[in-house]
Amino acid sequence: MPDVTVVGPEGRLEGRYHPSADGAPLAIVLHSHPKGGGTMNDPVVLALFDMFKERDFSVLRMNFRGVGRSQGVYDQGIGELSDAASALDWMQALPQNANAPFCWVAGFSFGAWIGMQLLMRRPEIRGFTSVCPPMNMYDFSFLAPCPASGLIVNGTADQVVPPDEIERVASKIRTQKDITIEHQLVKDANHFFDDKVEELAGICADHLDKRLTAIRAAENA
């Protein structure tokens, strides 16, 4: 798994990239809040990264500006969205990814908020995995309408993002025609899924497998 350097808006962005075969789908995984200790090495991020790798995606995880060896300073989410867009651009520019059929975005907490904004701006993103989106801290009204189906998952014992707040927002965005938003709960899991990462990974993997089966069936119809 090579270390990579992405040229971002404020300089170098540190990343880890797993390439798959030519024409494989792409995925990007975004970490939790930089000011809360979030990095691309979060256990949740690593679990999501491995999920895509095991399903033959070409997948990238990266540190937002100011984290690890990434240059720049925290920018309230504005610059971090540009970082994520630059990272996706970098992947798509690689010759072996020229024929990638679609992209996926996955994010944890703050990274889920950034990932959902990226989803709204990039029509090639066909699905999302949003872990503990901080719907009590940031405005998610931009998701009406949500352009792609996906998964929202959180823990029942989360004291950072109340489960009721996630359900309130999720119920608004999963009523759209031809869009399926699945909302799953991990019993007794806190915000960081301490001792629950494996269960979280299983839920995310099951959802992704179902979506991939449906996409491939539609392509072969």
* Residue 56 to residues 22, 163, 214, Cα–Cα distance (Å): 10, 32, 17
Length of the chain: 221
pLDDT band at residue 102 under the 50/70/90 scheme: very high
Strands 58-62 and 11-18: antiparallel
Higher-pLDDT residue of 167, 112: 112
| C-alpha span between 64 and 32 (Å, rounded) | 10
**Preceding amide of 145 cis, omega within 30:** yes
pLDDT of 177 reads 76
Average pLDDT over residues 145-163: 94
pLDDT at 165 over 70: yes
Q: Which residues fall within 8 angstroms of residue 19, CB to CB, at 6 or more apart?
A: 2, 58, 94, 96
pLDDT single digits (tens) 22-44:
999 999 999 999 999 999 999 99
Q: Which residues fall within 8 angstroms of residue 50, CB to CB, at 6 or more apart?
A: 201
Higher-pLDDT residue of 35, 144: 35
* Residue 80 to residues 49, 69, 128, 168, 175, Cα–Cα distance (Å): 19, 15, 18, 26, 29
Q: How would you class 43 by CB atoms within 10 Å of its CB: exposed for 0-12, middle for 13-18, buried for 19 or more?
A: middle
Given a contact cutoff of 8 angstroms between Cβ atoms, the answer to whether 13 and 86 are in contact is yes
Helices 78-93 and 110-121 pack at an angle, to 10 degrees, of 60
State which H helix or E strand residue 110 sits in: helix 110-121
- Give the domains, in start order, of the chain with CATH numbers: 3-220 (3.40.50.1820)
